[in-house]
Structure 1
Amino acid sequence: MNQHLSKGKRLMFQYIVMLIILTLISCSSYQTKTAASSETTLLDMTIFQIGKADSMLLMSGGKTILIDTGEDKHGKKIVNYLEEHNIEKIDYLILTHFDKDHVGGADTIINSVDVQEIITPNYKRSSIQYLEYKNAIAANHIAPMALTATYSFTAGTAEFTVYPPQKSKYKIENDYSLIVSVQHGSNSFLLTADAEEERMDEIMKHSVVEHTFLKVPHHGKFEDNTLEFYSMVKPKFAVITSARKRAKTVSALEKLGTKVFVTRDGTVYVKSDGTSISMQQ
């Protein structure tokens, strides 16, 4: 009888220990999944204060997307920012077009950071900055994707759609600009590079225009269809990349109820959790 009780106690003890182990494993797995889920549901964007030039860094789900690189002098500033934040790889470098204030810093960044993919519009340009960029991609054995059709990819829970220009020739080079739309939960971001009147007409005709956030086209320059474009986008937030105040543009957006930031006042930091957006400058 005593031996039988002793054996029963041992079995009960082993059963309890096994339950404890399984509970701990389950809790650990849940915490890991929760942490991973939290990381992938956030989208962070930094819009650099670099005068009348464009560069913005987006991060979600462990992936890094850099859109434009400012002028020559800004390449090192962007590289320093990446190093300070322990960012060793750029998954996608999107060069919206080849103006010096968008492609100028590309060679410095490509030669300093591990760039996985480069996305550009499908045209060429004769300029020192473009030649430096071409030399950098050749030296690093990178073959860019020159888009002629809409291209999509994901980063965490953020869905990126890149819209190329609809035509092969434009009178104004800015109208070759790639337009990037980012969908993150119920938040959406429209990043319009230097699109001018003809390109904005294309956007209004060929894509979903209404977005929560707008990177204002061409540093806040006014075109004949600017007010129509703003009215269709209906942004809650907007950022103008400019060294000037752009009072007319700010006023037009504020009349729509938009909260406006201008990079002349500092770098803009944007955070989306898929439901709400927070902005800091």
Structure 2
Amino acid sequence: MNQYLFKDKRVMYLYITLFIIMALIGCSSHQTKIAASSNVSFLDMVIFKIGKADSMLLMAGGKTVLIDSGEDKDGDKVVKYLEENNIDKIDYMILTHFDKDHVGGVDVIINSVDVGQIITPNYKRSSKQYREYKNAITANHKTPKALINTYTFSAGTAEFTVYPPQKNKYKEENDYSLVVSVKHGNNSLLLTADAVEERLDELMGHSDIEHTFLKVPHHGKFEANTLEFFSMVKPQFAVITSARKRNKTVKALEKLGTKVFVTRNGNVYVKSDGYSMSMQQ
């Protein structure tokens, strides 16, 4: 009798052991699925407080994208931010156009940091800042990509599309601006540099320019087609790079339900997880 009980207990223990092993395998598999599904590539962006000038840094998938460099004095500020955040390489540098408030600090940055691909519009300019930029790329053996056609690249799960101007000549030099669209999951960012009326008309000719986030064109200057442009973009969030309040532009955006930030109040920080977007200043 005891012998049979012993055999039954051994069978019972065997079943219990098998049950525990199967349960552990199931839990392990479930945890692996959770870990895989939660492995989201974030997109982070900082838009620098540098007065009426543009410079913003985007980070995704271990890559960095710098768009513009502010004025001459701002190059050191950007380099300092990179050093403080242990960023030793810029994978892509996009210079939207060659105005001094967008290209002024670029020589300091190129001479201080490892820069990969440089992307520019396809035109030249006669200015001190442009000459300093040309000297820096020559000294560092860089060959910029001067865009004629749309250019795309990725950083992690963020997809960048750079739109060059469609004409060879414009009345306003600001209309030579490159415009950058960034898609990150359900979120999207439209970075419009200093585009003014003609260039905004070109953008509105695209089939769909609705974006979650808008870097407001030309430091918030109000154009004849600004309201139409805003109504087509329908941004949930917007940033104006300006030392001024730009009340008319802010009110027009707020009327659409957009949450607006102005860099006169400090750096603006943007985070996207591909589903939602958050901003702080």
1:81 aligned partner, one-letter code? Y
Match of 2:61 in 1: 61
Does 2:127 match 1:141? no
Match of 2:230 in 1: 230
The structure-2 alpha-carbon separation of the partners of 1:168 and 1:259, relative to structure 1 and needing over 3 Å to count, comes to same
1:30 deviates by 4.7
Match of 1:204 in 2: 204
Match of 1:249 in 2: 249
Q: Aligned partners of 2:112, 2:49: CA distance in 1, in Å?
A: 21
Q: Aligned partners of 2:37, 2:118: CA distance in 1, in Å?
A: 30
Q: Aligned partners of 2:155, 2:105: CA distance in 1, in Å?
A: 24
Match of 1:107 in 2: 107
What secondary structure does 1:171 align onto?
A: coil
Q: Percent identity?
A: 75
Tell me, which stretches of 5 or more residues in structure 1 are unaligned? 1-11
Equivalent pairs, count? 260
Q: Aligned partners of 1:151, 1:36: CA distance in 2, in Å?
A: 30
Q: Aligned partners of 1:126, 1:220: CA distance in 2, in Å?
A: 26
Post-superposition, which runs of at least 4 consecutive aligned residues in structure 1 deviate over 6 A? none
2:154 aligned partner, one-letter code? T
Q: Aligned partners of 1:260, 1:207: CA distance in 2, in Å?
A: 25
Match of 1:84 in 2: 84
1:254 aligned partner, one-letter code? E
Match of 2:39 in 1: 37
Describe how 1:124-273 pairs up with structure 2 within 5 A: 124-206=124-206, 208-273=208-273
C-alpha RMSD of matched pairs (Å)? 2.2
Q: Aligned partners of 1:233, 1:124: CA distance in 2, in Å?
A: 30
Deviations 1:42-66 (Å, cap 9, x if unpaired)? 0000000000000000000000000
1:171 deviates by 1.1
1:207 deviates by 5.2
1:65 aligned partner, one-letter code? V
Q: Aligned partners of 1:170, 1:207: CA distance in 2, in Å?
A: 23
1:116 aligned partner, one-letter code? G
Q: Aligned partners of 1:279, 1:232: CA distance in 2, in Å?
A: 22
What secondary structure does 2:244 align onto?
A: coil
Match of 1:95 in 2: 95
Match of 1:4 in 2: none
Tell me, which stretches of 5 or more residues in structure 2 are unaligned? 1-13
1:191 aligned partner, one-letter code? L
The structure-2 alpha-carbon separation of the partners of 1:231 and 1:196, relative to structure 1 and needing over 3 Å to count, comes to same
2:156 aligned partner, one-letter code? G
Report the structure number with the largest CA radius of gyration: 2
What secondary structure does 2:39 align onto?
A: helix
The structure-2 alpha-carbon separation of the partners of 1:207 and 1:65, relative to structure 1 and needing over 3 Å to count, comes to farther
Q: Aligned partners of 1:75, 1:35: CA distance in 2, in Å?
A: 39
What secondary structure does 2:120 align onto?
A: strand
